[in-house]
Amino acid sequence: MAGLPATARGCIHAEFAGWRSVDPAQVKANIASECALSLPAFAALLAEFGAAISEGKTGVDAWDVVCRNYKLRGAEIDGSVRPLRAARVMTVETYVTLLVRTTGLPRDAAIDLLEASDGKVPPEDDVALFQATSLGRYVIWATTDALDRDIHGSVPLAARCLCVTLGLGDIAELGDPLVCVSYRPGSTVEMRRPTVADAGKYPYYRPHPDAADAFGRTAPHACRPCDYPDHDHIGQIEFVHREITGEGLVFPYRILR
């Protein structure tokens, strides 16, 4: 903030002062803890946010919009530690919408397609549809528990447990099934450490405090009940990359309830 003009600083301070409810307050705290975004990019992001405030755009939604120009700006993960295999968790509904927009399957058929191969290697034609479908939109958030292992080996496969470990929303309260996919992103896909700009207004994100770490780390929700009370919820590696198709998917995927 120090590098910003006084008026911009004043604008932003005044705006942040109003972010008192739980989610905006967390986004504000995250911004204060950011250490993965380069200084010039962070300064430009804040300056742009200050300009948006001057134009009357306020609140975390305005922040979210400004963040769109600063996605995938964290440090690129070096080849020596780059994961060969990634895993990501999304809601079933999210995957269904991705399948529909790519394959043209109606929603009901996409749901059936997804359910039919839970925990199994799908038939050839199903595989082709999954491979053609994007694994997410805009910025893909991924994790991996080691360089060549997938998340299945380290985190109990229950939705609630996974949400606690990965620091997602409260599945216990929301009840939506999740799908966990693992994939080989391919050598041409840049992997980057996540930043507050990638997270936008998502309040469950926590910046990893170690500025020297190549990766981000998820922040487990220590206070939430879990189906596996003995499991030691430790933060998982976290990184982001651009939108890619499921060409590198490793089957089977798992649906977690």
Partner 1 sequence: MNDPTTQDLNLLDEAQIGAWLREALHGRLGTPLTRDEPAHERVLRTERRLERAARAAIRRASEALARELPAASAPDLDYVESLLHLLDALRRPVAPMLMQMARDWPAWIRGHEELQRVLLATIVDLQEADSRAFWLEIVGNHGATFSATAFAGILLHAPEAALAALPTWPVNALASRAIGVLLGQKLGAMAPGQRRELIVAARDVLDGCAAPLRGALERALARYPEPSMASGRARPPASFRAALRSRFPESGRSLGTVQSPRLVPVAA
Angle formed by the axes of helices 107-116 and 92-103, nearest 10°: 120
Total residues in contact with partner 1, by rule CB under 8 A: 54
Q: How far is the CB of 95 from partner 1 (least distance, A)?
A: 10
Q: Residue-wise over 152-181: b if at least 16 C-beta within 10 A, else e?
A: bebbbebbbbbbbbbbbeebeeeeeebbbb
Separation between Cα atoms, residue 115 and residue 179, nearest integer Å: 10
Please identify which residue in 132, 146, 147, 211 interacts with partner 1, judged by CB under 8 A: 132
Q: Does 40 bind partner 1 (CB under 8 A)?
A: no
Q: How far is the CB of 168 from partner 1 (least distance, A)?
A: 5
Residue among 100, 88, 89 at smallest CA distance from 189 = 88
Q: Does 81 bind partner 1 (CB under 8 A)?
A: no
Nearer to partner 1, 61 or 210 (CB): 61
Q: Does 107 bind partner 1 (CB under 8 A)?
A: yes
> Residue 114 is encoded by which pair of tokens?
């997804």
Please identify which residue in 45, 164, 199, 226 interacts with partner 1, judged by CB under 8 A: 199
Angle formed by the axes of helices 92-103 and 124-132, nearest 10°: 90
Site residues (CB under 8 A) for partner 1? 23, 61, 89-94, 96-97, 100-109, 111-116, 123-126, 128-129, 132, 136-141, 163, 168-171, 174, 176-178, 199, 202-205, 255
